[in-house]
Amino acid sequence: MSRSIEKKIDLLVEEGYFSEEGIKKEAFKTLLRERSDLRIALAVEEYKRGEITLNRAAEIAGITTEEMKKKLNDRGIPIKRGVLSEEERKKKINDLLEKK
């Protein structure tokens, strides 16, 4: 990041407009709001890693579930279907509990 940008960020933090964490969050939210391609990329990657459902991926991307399926298919990412095995179900539950 350029020194000029860093100085401007520091000034906003010093004057109490944002905390350092707050300015990062706001910048990220603004970036995703303005860039649909990045929202879709984020949703695809989280879905591919098994971190979110198809419906949640579509919600993050700001598109319909059918459009999300097409995006995944275009990238060669299989749509997860069916019932989880007992082991997969327990792992998902444990993962969710650890995030709290």
pLDDT digits (tens, 9 = 90+) for 54-67: 999 999 999 999 99
CB neighbourhood size of 71 (10 A):
19
pLDDT of residue 84: 67
Q: What is the DSSP letter of 84?
A: P
Q: pTM for the whole thing?
A: 0.70
Lowest mean pLDDT among 1-15, 27-41, 80-94: 80-94
What is the mean pLDDT of the segment spanning 73-98?
A: 84
Q: Is the separation of the CB atoms in 75 and 100 below 8 Å?
A: no
SS3 85: coil
